[in-house]
Amino acid sequence: TDGLEFVMSIVFLNGSYMPMDEAKISPMDRGFLFGDGIYEVIPSYDGKLVGFAPHIERMDQGMDLIGIKFGYSQDEWRAVCENLIEKNGGGNLGIYLHVSRGTDSKRFHAYPEGVEATVFAFVFEIPAAPVADKAVAKAYKVSSTEDLRWKRCNIKSTALLGNVMHFQQGYESGNNEIILYNADGEMTEGSACNAYIVKDGVVITPPLDHQILPGITRLMLLDILAKDGSVKVEERIVTMDEVRNADEIWLTSSSKEIAPVVELDGQPVGDGQIGATWEKAQALYSAGKYNY
Ligand code: PMP
């Protein structure tokens, strides 16, 4: 299934662990009223976290960008992650961390003074990490549409309605994801993942700016490929014409790792099969992902 299932779970809320159905927040929480918060998803396979430090750094940067003052250290966050893994029985988990601006007494747009942030974390099951083998990998089908989200997509905000509406467009037409492009016909990203093409063996992905989330899988993948050196990478504008003529298309996210796309808007990508460059990149990623 595409849905990521709940583990019958123990969650973390404002410093305490409790069963999910006992976790309560006020409807006056600004996360609920305004989507005023920052979140992260960190994958964990058999208790081993992937990209823990860069995930927490991105969360701290996001909170700085929107003026939420909340200061868990990396050690404090790590304890939350490890406790949730243990209390929920391990396996393949996505660890969701969420800090909202907190609960105010009134509904007023300005940032309130003296309100404590709400911190929430829970875990959900994710698929086993992909194996770098074309014969068994899940092949993705995607559609495409103009990116109608806001101009601050670099912030990992809990206000995800733009992403949700785009994902739904792809989902309703039987696709696993949807690739977005700006008004100039340049690919931005997927509704919940970063996007890449491969042409003549070169991996090409849009540069980091306000149009895309700085994905941690992207960060790690580009670093792993640069260190290995056998697959060339370019960070530059990618037009949708290039996407439609690509040999391969990939999507990356924490819960998917590198997802090979074989169909775009009903047309085969390249020869319609998962590509050789994907296999190589996923093998390198699998070997290197615990070093971050
Ligand atoms: N872009 C968007 C819009 C996302 O929601 C995500 C995360 N699901 C990503 C990119 C990928 O980020 P990461 O590799 O850190 O999971």
Confidence category of residue 7, pLDDT binned at 50, 70, 90:
very low
Gap from CA of 6 to ligand 1 centroid (Å): 20
Gap from CA of 167 to ligand 1 centroid (Å): 13
Residue 4's pLDDT is what?
55
Residue 262 DSSP label: E
Which residue's structure tokens are 């996505």?
94
Nearest CA to ligand 1 atom 8: 192
Q: Which atom of ligand 1 is nearest to the CA of 194?
A: 10
Gap from CA of 199 to ligand 1 centroid (Å): 23
Confidence category of residue 71, pLDDT binned at 50, 70, 90:
confident
Establish how many alpha carbons lie within 13 A of residue 232's alpha carbon, considering only the half-sphere containing its beta carbon. Answer: 6
Residue 1 reports pLDDT greater than 70: no
Gap from CA of 105 to ligand 1 centroid (Å): 33
Summarised one tens digit per residue, pLDDT across range 164-181 is 999 999 999 999 999 999
CA angle 79, 40, 6 (to 5 degrees): 80
Gap from CA of 234 to ligand 1 centroid (Å): 19
Residue 34 reports pLDDT greater than 70: yes
Q: Which atom of ligand 1 is nearest to the CA of 153?
A: 3
Ligand 1 is surrounded, with C-beta below 6 A, by 41, 163, 189, 192-194, 213, 215-218, 252-254
The pTM of the full predicted model, rounded to 2 decimals, is 0.96
Confidence category of residue 64, pLDDT binned at 50, 70, 90:
very high
pLDDT mean over 212-226: 98
Query: In the chain, pLDDT over 70 holds for what percent of residues?
Result: 97
Lowest mean pLDDT among 5-9, 132-136, 144-148, 273-277: 5-9
Summarised one tens digit per residue, pLDDT across range 120-173 is 999 999 999 999 999 999 999 999 999 999 999 999 999 999 999 999 999 999
User: Residues with Cβ < 8 Å from 268, sequence gap 6 or more?
Assistant: 262
State the chain's mean pLDDT as an integer: 96
Q: Which of 106, 134, 156, 227 is catalytic?
A: 156
pLDDT mean over 203-230: 98
> Would you say 144 and 180 are in contact if contact means Cβ atoms under 8 Å apart?
yes
How would you classify residue 75: left for phi > 0, otherwise alpha for psi between -120 and 50, otherwise beta?
Answer: alpha
Reply yes or no on whether 24 is catalytic.
no
pLDDT mean over 74-88: 97
Q: Which atom of ligand 1 is nearest to the CA of 163?
A: 3
Residue 236's pLDDT is what?
98
CB atoms within 10 A of CB 241: 9
Summarised one tens digit per residue, pLDDT across range 86-125 is 999 999 999 999 999 999 999 999 999 999 999 999 999 9
Residue 8's pLDDT is what?
61
Give the pair of three-digit tokens for residue 248: 């391969």
The pick from 39, 157, 209, 213 for probing ligand 1's pocket by mutation, whose C-beta has the most ligand atoms within 8 angstroms, reads 213
SS3 state at 167 = helix
Q: Which atom of ligand 1 is nearest to the CA of 55?
A: 15
Strand partners, 90: none
Residue 197's pLDDT is what?
99
